[in-house]
């Protein structure tokens, strides 16, 4: 079960559980969803479209059956200067492979350490992707579309890094 114990959410709700819903919807994939934490009209439309496609009751309310049908909506880790590990190595690989002709700045190597060169590559990627260029990889940066086969930064790096 990818989203165990989640409460029922409906239009007008806000908070971290709505962010989990929005991340799950983005992973269906519905790249039009913004992870804002507000169950707005855009989110309701995405929920009803998902329910219809999954053969569920179409009511725009996310209860246990809808939660169970959605992919895991857990967050990806927040990465910034000082972060390290396999997820940083995977991020560096994506930033290196996509840089030519796109954001043009690489992390200068794949070493699993988020240092100043990785931060510069992230900022270039964020500018290219149209999100705030702060050098921190959070929900908005993970959600940037790579313009290829419905892939986002998070799916390219790997959803196996989702945390709860």
Cross-strand partners of 145: 152
Full-model pTM: 0.83
Mean pLDDT, range 39-55, rounded to an integer: 97
Residue 144 pLDDT > 70: yes
How many CB atoms lie under 10 A from the CB of residue 93? 14
DSSP string covering the chain, please?
Answer: --STTPPPB-TT-BSHHHHHHHHHHHTTT-TT----SB--HHHHHHHHHHHHHHT---SS-B-HHHHHHSPP-PPPPPB-TT-BSHHHHHHHHHHHHH-TTTT----SS--SB--HHHHHHHHHHHHHHTS--SS-BSHHHHT-B-SSTT-BHHHHH-GGG---
Mean pLDDT, range 116-140, rounded to an integer: 95
Residue 17 pLDDT > 80: yes
Mean pLDDT, range 138-161, rounded to an integer: 83
Q: How far apart are CA 1 and CA 162, in angstroms?
A: 14
């Amino acid at each position: 079960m990818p989203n165990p114990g989640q409460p029922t959410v409906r239009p007008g709700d806000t908070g971290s559980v709505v962010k989990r819903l929005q991340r799950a919807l983005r992973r269906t994939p519905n790249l039009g969803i913004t992870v804002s934490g507000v169950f707005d009209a855009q989110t309701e439309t995405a929920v009803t479209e998902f329910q219809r496609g999954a053969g569920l009751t179409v009511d725009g309310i996310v209860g246990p059956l809808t939660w169970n049908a959605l992919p895991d909506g857990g967050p990806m880790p927040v990465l910034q200067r000082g972060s390290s590990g396999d997820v940083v190595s995977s991020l560096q690989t994506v930033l290196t492979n996509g840089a030519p002709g796109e954001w043009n700045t690489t992390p200068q190597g794949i070493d699993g350490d988020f240092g100043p060169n990785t931060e510069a590559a992230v900022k270039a990627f964020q500018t290219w992707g149209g999100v705030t260029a702060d050098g921190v990889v959070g929900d908005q940066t993970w959600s940037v579309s790579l313009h290829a086969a419905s892939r986002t930064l998070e799916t390219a790096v790997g959803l196996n890094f989702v945390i709860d």
